Structure 1
Amino acid sequence: MTRPGLRELKKRRTRDALLRTALELFTTKGFEETTVDEIVEAVDVSQRTFFRHFAGKQETAFAVPEMVEARFMRALRERPPGEPPFVALRGAVLDSWEAMNEAMAELIPVELHIRTYQMIESTPSLVAVHLHRSTELEARAARVLAEREGLDPDDPRPRVATAAFGGVMRAAGRLWATGEDASVASIRATTEEYLDHLGALAEDWHRDP
């Protein structure tokens, strides 16, 4: 794989610094109270540089979740054919977290990721966006499941499965964010425990009800 040139490396470092600074300010001052001017001043760059990397504050708030979601969708598409739907979903999320563990540690501390999650959950304007993003992710995952199972796109079972899966993921995330153990191993263990309760729903979708 070709290594990035110095210019690309500098751009990446600037973007990472803007992201870390924005999240620190959001989680200490508040999302609504933080301005783009404050972010760029702390990093010593111009507003033009900020908007070259991000469309606005909201994009920075969801930058890490977006990265996690992209890894999950890629992992779901790469799951072995023939796996039952919930096995594929479970494997995809756990595999994506394994890949994210090192990548996230290089970008932001896990502790800052938790504070960002709590900030999103406590900011009304971001909660609405978060729920919309979750619904969109469930819809994309449902389409992948339908393709894997050879089902009609209008079959309700993939949508029901991803809605149930998404609900479990949100419940596990909230528990992790309020717990004492902030490690990736902790969120993995909590999620595995919660997903175990979905086992009874992992039926053969090709059997007549």
Structure 2
Amino acid sequence: MTEPPAAAGRRERKKAATRQAIAAAALRLFLEHGYDHVSIRGIAEAADVSTATVFKHFTGKEALVFDQEESMDTRLIAAVRQRAPGEDVLDALRRHVLDTWLPIAAHPQWQEFNHLVTATPALRAYAERMWARHTDTLSAAIADEFGAEHDDLACTALARFVLEVPVLAQGRKDHRAAVEEVFDIIANGWRPPSGPTGPRST
């Protein structure tokens, strides 16, 4: 039976709200008690859902930490394919990073979240696998725009550099300026920094 659009919309909103509530409860428990000391059952109880509901929305504990990861590939592809008329790929990716990462970096729990990931081996490993998947996705999207093979080295390198921008910028005081600087390096090539005494002679 075909479901009316309004009912379908309510169902999707309810599903999204449940997923968000589970992820929020999980992050709160992880930050309070440490990732390894929190169980799926404890997360389910905190979110007032069953453990089956948790697994219906998430594949495991790691996925609860990276709850936005599922849609990241879609957003990366859209940044390349749905860019403004006349906008080149690199400028579109610069705008995408500024629009999506800066609000995350400004979140009051960002530092705690980042420490949780870096201090937990299972989460670090998951993040590395996730980063590799996103690199493949973004590289393929870039290659498609230029009619290149998906294993084209230039497209793969650009994808890696772009995904690394937040990592390079996160320790800087001015996140926006750091993102802009790294993208300028990608666009224009690296130049030696000009120190107070100039380059050392060899």
Q: 1:166 to 1:16 in 2, by over 3 A?
A: closer
Counterpart Cα distance in 2 of 1:113 and 1:55: 23
Q: 1:200 aligns with which of 188, 196, 199?
A: 188
User: Using a 3 Å threshold, how does the CA distance of structure 1 residues 157 and 20 change in structure 2: closer, same or farther?
Assistant: same
User: In 2, are the aligned partners of 1:79 and 1:92 still within 8 Å (CA)?
Assistant: no
Equivalence map 1:154-169=2 (5 Å): 154-169=151-166
The answer as to whether partners of 1:22 and 1:60 remain within 8 angstroms in 2 is: yes
Offset of residue 66 of structure 1: 4.0
TM-score norm. by structure 1 comes to: 0.73
Q: Secondary structure at the match of 1:197?
A: helix
- Distance in 1 separating the partners of 2:91 and 2:78: 15
Q: Partner residue of 1:37?
A: 41
Contact 1:142 1:159 (C-alpha < 8 Å) held by counterparts: yes
Partner of 1:150: 147
Q: Which residue of 1 aligns with 2:18?
A: 14
CA distance in 1, matches of 2:10, 2:91: 42
Please point out which of 64, 85, 109 is paired with 1:112. Answer: 109
Report the count of equivalent residues.
184
**Contact residue 76 and residue 138 of structure 2 kept, 8 A:** no
> Matches of 2:73 and 2:115 in 1, distance apart?
18
- 1:7/1:83 CA distance change after superposition, 3 Å: closer
SS in 2 for 1:79: coil
Of stretches 153-162 and 64-73 in structure 1, the one that deviates more from structure 2 is 64-73
Local SS of the residue matching 2:109:
helix
Structure 2: state its 5+ residue gaps: 191-202
Which structure is richer in relative contact order (CA contacts within 8 A, separation 6 or more)? 1
Residues 51-200 of structure 1 mapped to structure 2, 5 A cutoff: 51-80=55-84, 83-97=87-101, 101=103, 110-173=107-170, 175=171, 187-200=175-188
Partner AA of 1:55 in structure 2: T
Deviates more, 1:127-136 or 1:158-167: 158-167
Provide closer, same or farther for how the CA distance between residues 5 and 132 of structure 1 changes in structure 2, counting only shifts above 3 A: closer
Alpha carbons 1:75, 1:95 under 8 Å: kept:
no
With 79-88 and 40-49 compared, the bigger mean Cα shift is at 79-88
List runs of 5+ in structure 1 lacking aligned partners.
180-185, 203-209
Superposed CA deviations along residues 41-77 of structure 1, whole A, max 9, x for unmatched, are: 2222221222222222111111134445532332222
